[in-house]
Structure 1
Protein backbone atom coordinates (compact mmCIF):
# COMPACT_ATOMS: atom_id res chain seq x y z
CA UNK A 1 0.00 0.00 0.00
CA UNK A 2 1.16 3.55 -0.63
CA UNK A 3 1.81 5.71 2.42
CA UNK A 4 -1.23 7.85 1.58
CA UNK A 5 -3.53 4.84 1.25
CA UNK A 6 -2.12 3.27 4.43
CA UNK A 7 -2.85 6.48 6.35
CA UNK A 8 -6.33 6.69 4.88
CA UNK A 9 -7.16 3.08 5.70
CA UNK A 10 -5.73 3.52 9.19
CA UNK A 11 -8.06 6.43 9.76
CA UNK A 12 -11.04 4.44 8.58
CA UNK A 13 -10.17 1.53 10.82
CA UNK A 14 -9.57 3.68 13.85
CA UNK A 15 -12.76 5.52 13.18
CA UNK A 16 -14.78 2.41 13.41
CA UNK A 17 -13.65 1.01 16.68
CA UNK A 18 -17.32 0.51 17.24
CA UNK A 19 -16.82 -1.91 20.04
CA UNK A 20 -17.77 0.89 22.37
CA UNK A 21 -21.30 0.02 21.56
CA UNK A 22 -21.08 -3.43 22.70
CA UNK A 23 -21.90 -3.01 26.28
CA UNK A 24 -24.13 -5.93 27.20
CA UNK A 25 -25.60 -8.14 24.52
CA UNK A 26 -25.60 -11.90 23.03
CA UNK A 27 -22.04 -12.15 21.56
CA UNK A 28 -21.66 -15.46 19.99
CA UNK A 29 -23.08 -14.67 16.61
CA UNK A 30 -23.09 -17.76 14.53
CA UNK A 31 -21.04 -16.07 11.82
CA UNK A 32 -19.20 -17.99 9.13
CA UNK A 33 -15.65 -19.22 9.84
CA UNK A 34 -13.13 -17.58 7.51
CA UNK A 35 -9.53 -18.37 6.68
CA UNK A 36 -6.45 -16.39 7.75
CA UNK A 37 -6.65 -12.61 7.56
CA UNK A 38 -10.36 -12.75 6.71
CA UNK A 39 -11.18 -14.34 10.10
CA UNK A 40 -12.31 -11.16 11.94
CA UNK A 41 -14.86 -10.32 9.23
CA UNK A 42 -17.15 -13.34 9.50
CA UNK A 43 -20.32 -11.20 9.59
CA UNK A 44 -19.31 -8.54 7.08
CA UNK A 45 -22.26 -7.76 4.76
CA UNK A 46 -20.26 -8.29 1.56
CA UNK A 47 -23.37 -9.41 -0.36
CA UNK A 48 -25.38 -6.31 0.49
CA UNK A 49 -26.37 -4.44 -2.69
CA UNK A 50 -24.56 -1.29 -1.55
CA UNK A 51 -21.32 -3.21 -1.03
CA UNK A 52 -21.64 -5.15 -4.29
CA UNK A 53 -22.25 -1.89 -6.17
CA UNK A 54 -18.87 -0.36 -5.23
CA UNK A 55 -16.93 0.16 -8.47
CA UNK A 56 -13.44 0.79 -7.07
CA UNK A 57 -13.27 4.23 -8.66
CA UNK A 58 -16.01 6.45 -7.22
CA UNK A 59 -16.61 4.23 -4.21
CA UNK A 60 -14.88 1.41 -2.37
CA UNK A 61 -16.25 -1.38 -0.17
CA UNK A 62 -14.42 -2.37 3.02
CA UNK A 63 -15.13 -4.56 6.06
CA UNK A 64 -14.63 -3.47 9.65
CA UNK A 65 -14.60 -5.61 12.77
CA UNK A 66 -14.08 -4.43 16.34
CA UNK A 67 -14.13 -6.54 19.48
CA UNK A 68 -13.38 -6.28 23.17
CA UNK A 69 -13.20 -8.86 25.94
CA UNK A 70 -14.26 -6.61 28.82
CA UNK A 71 -15.58 -3.22 29.84
CA UNK A 72 -18.53 -1.60 31.59
CA UNK A 73 -21.67 0.40 30.93
CA UNK A 74 -23.39 2.78 33.34
CA UNK A 75 -27.04 3.67 32.74
CA UNK A 76 -28.44 6.03 35.35
CA UNK A 77 -27.29 4.57 38.66
CA UNK A 78 -26.84 1.01 37.37
CA UNK A 79 -23.39 -0.25 36.39
CA UNK A 80 -23.05 -3.47 34.41
CA UNK A 81 -19.76 -5.23 33.54
CA UNK A 82 -19.50 -6.28 29.91
CA UNK A 83 -18.34 -9.54 28.41
CA UNK A 84 -17.04 -10.25 24.93
CA UNK A 85 -18.37 -7.94 22.22
CA UNK A 86 -18.39 -8.15 18.45
CA UNK A 87 -19.23 -5.21 16.21
CA UNK A 88 -19.06 -5.55 12.43
CA UNK A 89 -20.14 -3.29 9.58
CA UNK A 90 -19.41 -2.66 5.96
CA UNK A 91 -18.28 0.78 4.84
CA UNK A 92 -18.69 2.19 1.34
CA UNK A 93 -16.29 5.12 0.95
CA UNK A 94 -17.27 7.60 -1.76
CA UNK A 95 -15.03 9.83 -3.88
CA UNK A 96 -16.45 12.97 -2.24
CA UNK A 97 -15.10 11.81 1.13
CA UNK A 98 -18.44 10.66 2.57
CA UNK A 99 -19.09 7.17 3.86
CA UNK A 100 -22.12 4.91 3.96
CA UNK A 101 -22.45 2.38 6.77
CA UNK A 102 -23.93 -1.05 5.99
CA UNK A 103 -25.07 -3.26 8.87
CA UNK A 104 -25.13 -7.08 8.77
CA UNK A 105 -28.58 -8.66 8.60
CA UNK A 106 -28.26 -9.81 12.24
CA UNK A 107 -27.36 -6.31 13.43
CA UNK A 108 -24.11 -4.42 13.79
CA UNK A 109 -23.58 -5.42 17.42
CA UNK A 110 -23.53 -8.85 19.01
CA UNK A 111 -22.24 -9.23 22.57
CA UNK A 112 -22.40 -11.49 25.58
CA UNK A 113 -25.33 -11.10 27.99
CA UNK A 114 -24.48 -9.59 31.37
CA UNK A 115 -26.11 -9.98 34.77
CA UNK A 116 -27.34 -6.76 36.34
CA UNK A 117 -25.60 -6.55 39.74
CA UNK A 118 -28.12 -7.03 42.54
CA UNK A 119 -30.75 -8.36 40.14
CA UNK A 120 -34.36 -7.43 40.74
CA UNK A 121 -33.62 -6.65 44.40
CA UNK A 122 -31.20 -4.00 43.22
CA UNK A 123 -33.38 -2.76 40.36
CA UNK A 124 -36.64 -1.99 42.17
CA UNK A 125 -36.73 -3.68 45.60
CA UNK A 126 -37.46 -3.17 48.39
CA UNK A 127 -40.47 -0.92 47.91
CA UNK A 128 -43.25 0.45 50.11
CA UNK A 129 -45.66 0.43 47.17
CA UNK A 130 -47.93 -2.62 47.54
CA UNK A 131 -47.90 -3.76 43.91
CA UNK A 132 -44.10 -3.61 43.72
CA UNK A 133 -43.69 -5.04 47.20
CA UNK A 134 -45.81 -8.01 46.14
CA UNK A 135 -43.43 -8.74 43.28
CA UNK A 136 -40.40 -8.33 45.53
CA UNK A 137 -41.98 -10.83 47.90
CA UNK A 138 -41.94 -13.46 45.16
CA UNK A 139 -38.14 -13.42 44.95
CA UNK A 140 -37.21 -16.77 46.41
CA UNK A 141 -33.98 -17.71 44.65
CA UNK A 142 -31.32 -16.57 42.22
CA UNK A 143 -33.52 -17.45 39.24
CA UNK A 144 -36.31 -15.06 40.15
CA UNK A 145 -33.85 -12.36 41.23
CA UNK A 146 -31.52 -12.54 38.22
CA UNK A 147 -31.84 -9.85 35.54
CA UNK A 148 -30.04 -10.35 32.25
CA UNK A 149 -29.16 -7.15 30.39
CA UNK A 150 -28.63 -7.29 26.64
CA UNK A 151 -27.74 -4.46 24.29
CA UNK A 152 -29.49 -4.78 20.96
CA UNK A 153 -28.87 -2.93 17.69
CA UNK A 154 -32.05 -1.19 16.56
CA UNK A 155 -30.93 0.43 13.34
CA UNK A 156 -28.03 1.11 11.04
CA UNK A 157 -25.18 3.26 12.43
CA UNK A 158 -24.80 6.71 10.87
CA UNK A 159 -22.76 9.94 10.95
CA UNK A 160 -19.51 8.11 10.32
CA UNK A 161 -16.58 10.55 10.44
CA UNK A 162 -13.41 9.31 8.79
CA UNK A 163 -10.87 11.64 10.40
CA UNK A 164 -12.36 11.28 13.89
CA UNK A 165 -10.95 7.77 14.03
CA UNK A 166 -7.42 9.12 14.03
CA UNK A 167 -8.22 11.65 16.78
CA UNK A 168 -8.96 11.51 20.47
CA UNK A 169 -12.17 12.84 21.97
CA UNK A 170 -14.03 13.26 18.67
CA UNK A 171 -17.24 11.27 18.02
CA UNK A 172 -16.67 8.67 15.31
CA UNK A 173 -20.11 7.29 14.53
CA UNK A 174 -23.66 7.24 15.90
CA UNK A 175 -25.01 3.83 16.89
CA UNK A 176 -28.67 3.33 17.90
CA UNK A 177 -29.26 0.63 20.55
CA UNK A 178 -31.70 -0.41 23.24
CA UNK A 179 -31.03 -2.37 26.45
CA UNK A 180 -33.23 -5.40 27.04
CA UNK A 181 -33.83 -6.33 30.70
CA UNK A 182 -35.13 -9.86 31.15
CA UNK A 183 -36.47 -11.43 34.37
CA UNK A 184 -39.30 -13.90 35.14
CA UNK A 185 -41.15 -11.38 37.31
CA UNK A 186 -40.86 -8.22 35.19
CA UNK A 187 -41.34 -10.11 31.93
CA UNK A 188 -39.41 -10.26 28.68
CA UNK A 189 -40.51 -6.93 27.18
CA UNK A 190 -38.68 -4.54 29.49
CA UNK A 191 -36.38 -2.12 27.65
CA UNK A 192 -34.36 1.03 28.18
CA UNK A 193 -34.57 2.72 24.83
CA UNK A 194 -36.83 1.64 21.96
CA UNK A 195 -36.64 1.15 18.21
CA UNK A 196 -38.27 4.53 17.66
CA UNK A 197 -36.40 6.32 20.47
CA UNK A 198 -33.10 4.48 20.96
CA UNK A 199 -30.07 5.21 23.06
CA UNK A 200 -27.55 6.69 20.64
CA UNK A 201 -23.92 5.91 21.38
CA UNK A 202 -21.22 8.10 19.84
CA UNK A 203 -17.91 6.34 20.54
CA UNK A 204 -14.61 8.16 20.56
CA UNK A 205 -10.98 7.25 21.12
CA UNK A 206 -9.81 7.66 24.69
CA UNK A 207 -6.31 6.51 23.70
CA UNK A 208 -4.61 5.91 20.37
CA UNK A 209 -4.33 2.28 19.24
CA UNK A 210 -1.28 0.39 18.04
CA UNK A 211 -1.32 0.22 14.23
CA UNK A 212 -0.12 -2.62 12.02
CA UNK A 213 -0.74 -3.69 8.41
CA UNK A 214 -0.41 -6.90 6.44
CA UNK A 215 -1.50 -8.44 3.13
CA UNK A 216 -2.92 -11.78 2.04
CA UNK A 217 -4.03 -13.74 -0.97
CA UNK A 218 -7.67 -13.49 -2.00
CA UNK A 219 -8.65 -16.28 0.43
CA UNK A 220 -6.87 -14.69 3.39
CA UNK A 221 -3.62 -16.67 3.41
CA UNK A 222 -0.86 -14.24 4.50
CA UNK A 223 1.28 -13.06 1.57
CA UNK A 224 3.41 -9.93 1.37
CA UNK A 225 2.26 -9.09 -2.15
CA UNK A 226 -1.34 -10.34 -1.85
CA UNK A 227 -4.31 -8.29 -3.11
CA UNK A 228 -6.21 -8.36 0.20
CA UNK A 229 -5.04 -5.76 2.71
CA UNK A 230 -5.77 -5.70 6.42
CA UNK A 231 -5.06 -3.05 9.02
CA UNK A 232 -5.01 -3.87 12.72
CA UNK A 233 -5.62 -1.30 15.44
CA UNK A 234 -5.18 -2.93 18.81
CA UNK A 235 -4.96 -2.12 22.50
CA UNK A 236 -7.05 1.05 22.47
CA UNK A 237 -9.71 2.12 24.96
CA UNK A 238 -13.03 3.30 23.55
CA UNK A 239 -15.68 5.24 25.43
CA UNK A 240 -18.72 7.47 25.31
CA UNK A 241 -19.49 9.71 28.28
CA UNK A 242 -22.14 11.85 26.60
CA UNK A 243 -25.18 9.74 25.70
CA UNK A 244 -28.59 10.20 27.29
CA UNK A 245 -30.73 7.28 28.48
CA UNK A 246 -34.55 7.35 28.35
CA UNK A 247 -36.91 5.81 30.88
CA UNK A 248 -37.87 2.14 30.87
CA UNK A 249 -40.79 0.73 28.89
CA UNK A 250 -42.70 -2.55 28.80
CA UNK A 251 -41.62 -3.63 32.30
CA UNK A 252 -44.20 -5.76 34.06
CA UNK A 253 -46.78 -8.46 33.36
CA UNK A 254 -47.71 -8.80 29.67
CA UNK A 255 -45.28 -6.01 28.81
CA UNK A 256 -47.86 -3.36 29.75
CA UNK A 257 -45.36 -1.21 31.66
CA UNK A 258 -46.87 -1.43 35.15
CA UNK A 259 -43.38 -1.42 36.68
CA UNK A 260 -41.75 1.16 34.42
CA UNK A 261 -41.90 3.82 37.11
CA UNK A 262 -40.36 1.52 39.72
CA UNK A 263 -37.41 0.70 37.46
CA UNK A 264 -37.00 4.38 36.59
CA UNK A 265 -37.11 5.48 40.22
CA UNK A 266 -34.53 2.98 41.48
CA UNK A 267 -32.23 3.34 38.43
CA UNK A 268 -32.37 7.12 38.13
CA UNK A 269 -34.00 7.12 34.70
CA UNK A 270 -34.35 8.97 32.44
CA UNK A 271 -30.71 10.03 32.77
CA UNK A 272 -29.30 13.03 30.93
CA UNK A 273 -25.98 13.27 29.14
CA UNK A 274 -23.08 13.26 31.57
CA UNK A 275 -24.61 10.69 33.90
CA UNK A 276 -24.16 7.62 31.69
CA UNK A 277 -21.00 6.06 30.29
CA UNK A 278 -19.68 3.10 28.36
CA UNK A 279 -16.09 1.91 28.23
CA UNK A 280 -14.50 -0.97 26.33
CA UNK A 281 -10.99 -2.14 27.18
CA UNK A 282 -8.24 -3.34 24.86
CA UNK A 283 -10.31 -3.19 21.68
CA UNK A 284 -9.13 -5.18 18.67
CA UNK A 285 -10.14 -3.48 15.42
CA UNK A 286 -9.50 -4.69 11.88
CA UNK A 287 -10.19 -3.20 8.49
CA UNK A 288 -10.14 -5.36 5.36
CA UNK A 289 -10.11 -4.00 1.81
CA UNK A 290 -8.49 -4.45 -1.59
CA UNK A 291 -4.98 -3.00 -1.73
CA UNK A 292 -5.63 -1.75 -5.27
CA UNK A 293 -9.37 -1.20 -5.69
CA UNK A 294 -8.88 0.37 -9.11
CA UNK A 295 -7.51 -2.92 -10.43
CA UNK A 296 -10.93 -4.49 -9.82
CA UNK A 297 -12.90 -1.59 -11.37
CA UNK A 298 -15.72 -1.38 -12.18
CA UNK A 299 -16.50 -4.43 -10.04
CA UNK A 300 -14.57 -3.83 -6.83
CA UNK A 301 -17.50 -4.73 -4.60
CA UNK A 302 -18.24 -7.94 -6.49
CA UNK A 303 -14.59 -9.00 -6.49
CA UNK A 304 -14.40 -8.18 -2.78
CA UNK A 305 -17.40 -10.43 -2.14
CA UNK A 306 -15.83 -13.23 -4.20
CA UNK A 307 -12.67 -12.99 -2.11
CA UNK A 308 -14.73 -13.24 1.10
CA UNK A 309 -16.56 -16.34 -0.12
CA UNK A 310 -13.29 -17.95 -1.22
CA UNK A 311 -12.10 -17.69 2.41
CA UNK A 312 -15.03 -19.65 3.86
CA UNK A 313 -13.79 -22.76 5.66
Structure 2
Protein backbone atom coordinates (compact mmCIF):
# COMPACT_ATOMS: atom_id res chain seq x y z
CA UNK A 1 0.00 0.00 0.00
CA UNK A 2 1.46 3.39 -0.99
CA UNK A 3 2.28 5.76 1.86
CA UNK A 4 -0.10 8.68 2.47
CA UNK A 5 2.42 11.38 1.52
CA UNK A 6 2.76 9.75 -1.91
CA UNK A 7 -0.98 9.87 -2.45
CA UNK A 8 -1.28 13.37 -1.09
CA UNK A 9 1.44 14.50 -3.46
CA UNK A 10 -0.32 12.86 -6.37
CA UNK A 11 -3.58 14.50 -5.37
CA UNK A 12 -1.97 17.93 -5.44
CA UNK A 13 -0.29 17.43 -8.80
CA UNK A 14 -3.36 15.77 -10.32
CA UNK A 15 -5.71 18.47 -9.15
CA UNK A 16 -3.58 21.12 -10.78
CA UNK A 17 -3.99 19.39 -14.12
CA UNK A 18 -7.74 18.81 -13.95
CA UNK A 19 -9.44 20.12 -17.06
CA UNK A 20 -12.51 21.58 -15.45
CA UNK A 21 -13.12 24.04 -18.28
CA UNK A 22 -12.39 22.09 -21.40
CA UNK A 23 -15.84 20.87 -22.33
CA UNK A 24 -17.34 22.02 -25.62
CA UNK A 25 -19.53 20.68 -28.37
CA UNK A 26 -17.72 17.93 -30.24
CA UNK A 27 -17.71 15.44 -33.07
CA UNK A 28 -20.89 13.38 -33.25
CA UNK A 29 -19.24 9.95 -33.14
CA UNK A 30 -15.94 8.46 -32.04
CA UNK A 31 -14.58 5.06 -31.05
CA UNK A 32 -15.45 4.35 -27.40
CA UNK A 33 -14.27 1.46 -25.21
CA UNK A 34 -16.36 0.16 -22.29
CA UNK A 35 -14.20 -0.01 -19.16
CA UNK A 36 -14.63 -1.51 -15.70
CA UNK A 37 -15.20 0.35 -12.44
CA UNK A 38 -13.24 3.53 -11.82
CA UNK A 39 -11.83 3.42 -15.34
CA UNK A 40 -15.35 3.76 -16.81
CA UNK A 41 -15.28 7.48 -17.79
CA UNK A 42 -11.95 7.20 -19.66
CA UNK A 43 -13.34 5.50 -22.77
CA UNK A 44 -11.05 7.29 -25.25
CA UNK A 45 -7.87 7.97 -23.27
CA UNK A 46 -4.95 7.79 -25.78
CA UNK A 47 -2.92 5.41 -23.60
CA UNK A 48 -1.23 3.86 -26.65
CA UNK A 49 -0.04 7.15 -28.16
CA UNK A 50 3.77 7.22 -28.46
CA UNK A 51 4.12 10.22 -26.14
CA UNK A 52 2.07 8.49 -23.44
CA UNK A 53 3.91 5.16 -23.76
CA UNK A 54 7.28 6.93 -23.61
CA UNK A 55 6.52 8.62 -20.26
CA UNK A 56 9.00 7.15 -17.77
CA UNK A 57 7.32 8.14 -14.49
CA UNK A 58 10.23 10.34 -13.37
CA UNK A 59 10.87 13.07 -15.93
CA UNK A 60 7.49 12.53 -17.59
CA UNK A 61 4.30 11.29 -15.93
CA UNK A 62 1.25 10.09 -17.95
CA UNK A 63 -2.36 10.73 -16.95
CA UNK A 64 -5.85 10.44 -18.45
CA UNK A 65 -8.45 13.22 -18.27
CA UNK A 66 -12.15 13.37 -19.12
CA UNK A 67 -14.53 16.30 -18.72
CA UNK A 68 -18.27 16.20 -19.44
CA UNK A 69 -21.35 18.42 -19.28
CA UNK A 70 -25.02 17.61 -19.83
CA UNK A 71 -26.01 21.04 -21.15
CA UNK A 72 -24.83 24.47 -22.20
CA UNK A 73 -25.01 27.04 -24.98
CA UNK A 74 -22.83 28.66 -27.61
CA UNK A 75 -23.35 32.09 -29.19
CA UNK A 76 -21.79 32.73 -32.60
CA UNK A 77 -22.42 36.23 -33.91
CA UNK A 78 -26.22 36.65 -33.94
CA UNK A 79 -27.06 32.99 -33.36
CA UNK A 80 -27.29 31.14 -30.03
CA UNK A 81 -27.50 27.34 -29.97
CA UNK A 82 -28.36 25.18 -26.94
CA UNK A 83 -25.87 22.32 -26.59
CA UNK A 84 -26.53 18.79 -25.36
CA UNK A 85 -24.21 16.27 -23.73
CA UNK A 86 -20.52 17.00 -24.30
CA UNK A 87 -17.36 15.00 -23.66
CA UNK A 88 -13.69 15.91 -23.85
CA UNK A 89 -10.92 13.34 -23.35
CA UNK A 90 -7.17 13.87 -23.35
CA UNK A 91 -3.91 12.33 -22.31
CA UNK A 92 -1.65 14.63 -20.30
CA UNK A 93 2.10 14.15 -19.91
CA UNK A 94 3.44 16.09 -16.93
CA UNK A 95 7.09 17.12 -17.16
CA UNK A 96 9.47 17.37 -14.20
CA UNK A 97 10.03 21.08 -14.92
CA UNK A 98 6.34 21.84 -14.23
CA UNK A 99 5.24 22.08 -17.86
CA UNK A 100 2.93 19.59 -19.50
CA UNK A 101 1.79 18.52 -22.95
CA UNK A 102 -1.56 17.33 -24.27
CA UNK A 103 -2.16 14.18 -26.32
CA UNK A 104 -5.49 13.94 -28.16
CA UNK A 105 -7.23 10.65 -28.99
CA UNK A 106 -6.99 9.54 -32.65
CA UNK A 107 -10.65 10.51 -33.20
CA UNK A 108 -10.11 14.00 -31.77
CA UNK A 109 -10.49 15.41 -28.30
CA UNK A 110 -14.14 16.46 -28.52
CA UNK A 111 -17.31 14.34 -28.74
CA UNK A 112 -20.88 15.59 -28.25
CA UNK A 113 -24.46 15.37 -29.34
CA UNK A 114 -25.21 17.51 -32.36
CA UNK A 115 -27.20 20.67 -31.63
CA UNK A 116 -30.19 21.96 -33.57
CA UNK A 117 -29.91 25.49 -35.01
CA UNK A 118 -33.03 27.55 -34.05
CA UNK A 119 -35.24 28.32 -37.03
CA UNK A 120 -33.30 26.03 -39.35
CA UNK A 121 -32.56 27.32 -42.84
CA UNK A 122 -35.52 29.69 -42.67
CA UNK A 123 -33.94 31.38 -39.69
CA UNK A 124 -30.40 31.11 -41.04
CA UNK A 125 -30.78 32.69 -44.47
CA UNK A 126 -34.38 33.76 -45.21
CA UNK A 127 -35.71 36.14 -46.35
CA UNK A 128 -33.18 37.13 -49.03
CA UNK A 129 -33.11 39.35 -52.09
CA UNK A 130 -30.69 36.98 -53.83
CA UNK A 131 -32.75 35.04 -56.44
CA UNK A 132 -31.16 31.64 -55.83
CA UNK A 133 -31.65 32.02 -52.06
CA UNK A 134 -35.24 33.18 -52.50
CA UNK A 135 -35.94 30.05 -54.54
CA UNK A 136 -34.49 27.86 -51.78
CA UNK A 137 -36.54 29.67 -49.12
CA UNK A 138 -39.75 28.77 -50.98
CA UNK A 139 -38.95 25.04 -50.56
CA UNK A 140 -38.51 25.10 -46.81
CA UNK A 141 -42.02 24.28 -45.62
CA UNK A 142 -40.74 20.69 -45.40
CA UNK A 143 -39.34 20.27 -41.88
CA UNK A 144 -36.63 17.86 -43.07
CA UNK A 145 -35.28 20.38 -45.53
CA UNK A 146 -35.46 23.18 -42.97
CA UNK A 147 -33.68 21.46 -40.05
CA UNK A 148 -29.98 22.28 -39.48
CA UNK A 149 -27.72 20.48 -37.05
CA UNK A 150 -24.44 21.94 -35.83
CA UNK A 151 -21.56 19.75 -34.67
CA UNK A 152 -18.26 21.07 -33.34
CA UNK A 153 -15.14 19.16 -34.38
CA UNK A 154 -11.49 19.27 -33.38
CA UNK A 155 -9.28 20.52 -36.22
CA UNK A 156 -5.92 20.37 -34.50
CA UNK A 157 -4.22 19.26 -31.33
CA UNK A 158 -4.92 21.27 -28.15
CA UNK A 159 -2.00 23.36 -26.90
CA UNK A 160 -0.99 26.08 -24.39
CA UNK A 161 -2.10 23.85 -21.53
CA UNK A 162 -2.01 25.48 -18.07
CA UNK A 163 -1.96 22.97 -15.20
CA UNK A 164 -2.86 25.39 -12.41
CA UNK A 165 -5.86 26.93 -14.19
CA UNK A 166 -7.78 23.65 -13.96
CA UNK A 167 -8.71 24.18 -10.30
CA UNK A 168 -8.83 28.00 -10.32
CA UNK A 169 -11.22 30.47 -11.93
CA UNK A 170 -10.92 33.02 -14.73
CA UNK A 171 -7.70 31.58 -16.19
CA UNK A 172 -7.49 30.01 -19.68
CA UNK A 173 -6.71 26.31 -19.36
CA UNK A 174 -5.98 25.29 -22.94
CA UNK A 175 -6.18 26.48 -26.54
CA UNK A 176 -8.61 24.24 -28.41
CA UNK A 177 -8.91 24.71 -32.21
CA UNK A 178 -12.33 23.67 -33.57
CA UNK A 179 -14.71 24.13 -36.48
CA UNK A 180 -18.53 23.78 -36.68
CA UNK A 181 -20.12 21.53 -39.28
CA UNK A 182 -23.56 22.78 -40.40
CA UNK A 183 -25.61 19.92 -41.86
CA UNK A 184 -28.73 20.10 -44.00
CA UNK A 185 -29.62 18.54 -47.41
CA UNK A 186 -29.48 21.94 -49.12
CA UNK A 187 -26.22 22.99 -47.48
CA UNK A 188 -24.30 20.02 -48.85
CA UNK A 189 -21.66 18.12 -46.92
CA UNK A 190 -18.93 20.75 -46.69
CA UNK A 191 -20.55 23.68 -44.91
CA UNK A 192 -18.30 24.72 -42.03
CA UNK A 193 -17.75 27.67 -39.73
CA UNK A 194 -13.98 27.64 -39.27
CA UNK A 195 -11.33 25.55 -40.96
CA UNK A 196 -8.11 23.79 -40.02
CA UNK A 197 -6.21 26.82 -41.32
CA UNK A 198 -8.55 29.35 -39.68
CA UNK A 199 -10.26 27.65 -36.71
CA UNK A 200 -12.40 28.89 -33.88
CA UNK A 201 -9.89 28.97 -31.02
CA UNK A 202 -11.52 28.25 -27.67
CA UNK A 203 -9.71 29.11 -24.43
CA UNK A 204 -12.19 27.97 -21.76
CA UNK A 205 -12.05 29.02 -18.10
CA UNK A 206 -13.75 27.96 -14.87
CA UNK A 207 -16.21 30.59 -13.67
CA UNK A 208 -16.94 28.75 -10.41
CA UNK A 209 -14.73 26.46 -8.33
CA UNK A 210 -15.39 22.72 -8.70
CA UNK A 211 -16.00 20.46 -5.71
CA UNK A 212 -13.03 18.16 -5.05
CA UNK A 213 -13.06 14.41 -4.36
CA UNK A 214 -10.67 11.46 -4.72
CA UNK A 215 -10.95 7.68 -5.08
CA UNK A 216 -8.51 4.76 -5.35
CA UNK A 217 -8.65 1.54 -7.35
CA UNK A 218 -6.78 -1.47 -8.63
CA UNK A 219 -5.24 -1.62 -12.10
CA UNK A 220 -8.41 -3.20 -13.58
CA UNK A 221 -10.71 -0.49 -12.18
CA UNK A 222 -11.95 -2.33 -9.08
CA UNK A 223 -12.40 0.17 -6.19
CA UNK A 224 -9.75 -0.43 -3.52
CA UNK A 225 -8.37 2.05 -0.98
CA UNK A 226 -5.01 0.24 -1.29
CA UNK A 227 -5.07 0.22 -5.10
CA UNK A 228 -2.17 1.39 -7.27
CA UNK A 229 -4.35 3.88 -9.18
CA UNK A 230 -6.09 7.07 -8.03
CA UNK A 231 -8.76 9.30 -9.54
CA UNK A 232 -9.37 13.02 -8.96
CA UNK A 233 -13.06 14.03 -9.22
CA UNK A 234 -14.00 17.68 -9.79
CA UNK A 235 -17.72 18.41 -10.13
CA UNK A 236 -20.18 21.26 -10.51
CA UNK A 237 -18.08 24.00 -12.14
CA UNK A 238 -19.66 26.44 -14.59
CA UNK A 239 -17.35 27.11 -17.52
CA UNK A 240 -17.18 29.91 -20.08
CA UNK A 241 -15.14 31.46 -22.84
CA UNK A 242 -16.11 34.83 -24.33
CA UNK A 243 -12.76 35.65 -25.91
CA UNK A 244 -12.89 33.81 -29.23
CA UNK A 245 -13.49 35.17 -32.73
CA UNK A 246 -15.58 33.27 -35.28
CA UNK A 247 -14.64 33.20 -39.00
CA UNK A 248 -17.11 33.21 -41.87
CA UNK A 249 -18.88 30.06 -43.04
CA UNK A 250 -17.47 28.38 -46.15
CA UNK A 251 -18.50 25.54 -48.46
CA UNK A 252 -22.26 26.02 -47.97
CA UNK A 253 -24.57 24.93 -50.80
CA UNK A 254 -24.89 21.94 -53.11
CA UNK A 255 -22.66 23.89 -55.48
CA UNK A 256 -20.04 24.35 -52.77
CA UNK A 257 -20.01 27.94 -51.54
CA UNK A 258 -23.11 29.09 -53.42
CA UNK A 259 -24.95 30.30 -50.32
CA UNK A 260 -22.05 31.28 -48.05
CA UNK A 261 -23.01 34.95 -48.20
CA UNK A 262 -26.61 34.35 -47.13
CA UNK A 263 -25.58 32.16 -44.18
CA UNK A 264 -22.95 34.68 -43.05
CA UNK A 265 -25.24 37.70 -43.40
CA UNK A 266 -28.04 36.24 -41.26
CA UNK A 267 -25.69 34.71 -38.70
CA UNK A 268 -23.48 37.77 -38.36
CA UNK A 269 -20.24 36.13 -39.46
CA UNK A 270 -17.37 36.72 -39.34
CA UNK A 271 -17.78 37.78 -35.72
CA UNK A 272 -15.01 39.51 -33.77
CA UNK A 273 -13.86 38.46 -30.31
CA UNK A 274 -16.21 39.78 -27.63
CA UNK A 275 -19.36 39.02 -29.61
CA UNK A 276 -19.33 35.26 -29.02
CA UNK A 277 -19.61 33.03 -25.98
CA UNK A 278 -19.48 29.40 -24.85
CA UNK A 279 -21.06 28.28 -21.55
CA UNK A 280 -21.15 24.77 -20.07
CA UNK A 281 -23.19 23.89 -16.98
CA UNK A 282 -22.36 21.60 -14.03
CA UNK A 283 -19.27 20.01 -15.53
CA UNK A 284 -17.75 16.79 -14.22
CA UNK A 285 -13.99 16.29 -14.61
CA UNK A 286 -11.99 13.18 -13.74
CA UNK A 287 -8.24 12.68 -13.85
CA UNK A 288 -6.49 9.36 -13.23
CA UNK A 289 -2.91 8.17 -12.97
CA UNK A 290 -0.56 5.84 -11.12
CA UNK A 291 -0.18 6.55 -7.39
CA UNK A 292 3.60 6.12 -7.49
CA UNK A 293 4.75 6.34 -11.14
CA UNK A 294 8.41 6.54 -10.11
CA UNK A 295 8.29 3.00 -8.72
CA UNK A 296 7.69 1.57 -12.20
CA UNK A 297 10.19 3.84 -14.02
CA UNK A 298 11.07 3.87 -16.84
CA UNK A 299 7.84 2.10 -17.82
CA UNK A 300 5.09 4.26 -16.29
CA UNK A 301 3.47 4.93 -19.65
CA UNK A 302 3.49 1.24 -20.55
CA UNK A 303 2.06 0.28 -17.15
CA UNK A 304 -0.73 2.86 -17.47
CA UNK A 305 -1.58 1.43 -20.89
CA UNK A 306 -1.57 -2.14 -19.57
CA UNK A 307 -3.84 -1.14 -16.69
CA UNK A 308 -6.31 0.59 -19.02
CA UNK A 309 -6.44 -2.45 -21.30
CA UNK A 310 -6.94 -4.77 -18.31
CA UNK A 311 -10.15 -2.88 -17.50
CA UNK A 312 -11.72 -3.34 -20.94
CA UNK A 313 -15.09 -5.09 -20.65
TM-score range, shorter chain: over 0.9
Give deviations 1:114-158, integer Å, cap 9, x for gaps. 110000000000112212101111213110000010001111100
Match in the other structure for 1:282 = 282
User: Which runs of 5 or more residues in structure 2 are unaligned?
Assistant: 1-5
Matched, 1:87 2:88: yes
Question: Does the 8 A contact of 2:60 with 2:93 survive in 1?
Answer: yes
Q: 1 CA distance for matches of 2:21 and 2:245?
A: 20
Q: 2 CA distance for matches of 1:263 and 1:224?
A: 55
Among 8, 11, 16, the alignment partner of 1:6 is: 11
Q: 2 CA distance for matches of 1:122 and 1:189?
A: 20
Give deviations 1:85-131, integer Å, cap 9, x for gaps. 11100001111111111000010001001110000000000112212
User: Which runs of 5 or more residues in structure 1 are unaligned?
Assistant: none
Q: Structure 1 residues 30, 170: closer, same or farther in 2, change over 3 A?
A: same
Give the root-mean-square deviation of aligned CA atoms: 1.1
Question: Does the 8 A contact of 1:24 with 1:83 survive in 2?
Answer: no
List structure 1 runs of 4+ shifted beyond 4 angstroms. Answer: none
Q: 2 CA distance for matches of 1:143 and 1:177?
A: 27
Structure 1 length as normaliser, TM-score?
A: 0.96
Give deviations 1:229-265, integer Å, cap 9, x for gaps. 100001111110110000010011232x121111111
Q: 2 CA distance for matches of 1:24 and 1:195?
A: 15
Matched, 1:201 2:206: no
Question: Does the 8 A contact of 1:191 with 1:250 survive in 2?
Answer: yes
Question: Does the 8 A contact of 1:16 with 1:64 survive in 2?
Answer: no
Work out the number of aligned pairs and report it.
308
Match in the other structure for 1:240 = 241
Structure 2 matches for 1:38-57, cutoff 5 A?
38-57=39-58
Question: Does the 8 A contact of 2:161 with 2:175 survive in 1?
Answer: yes
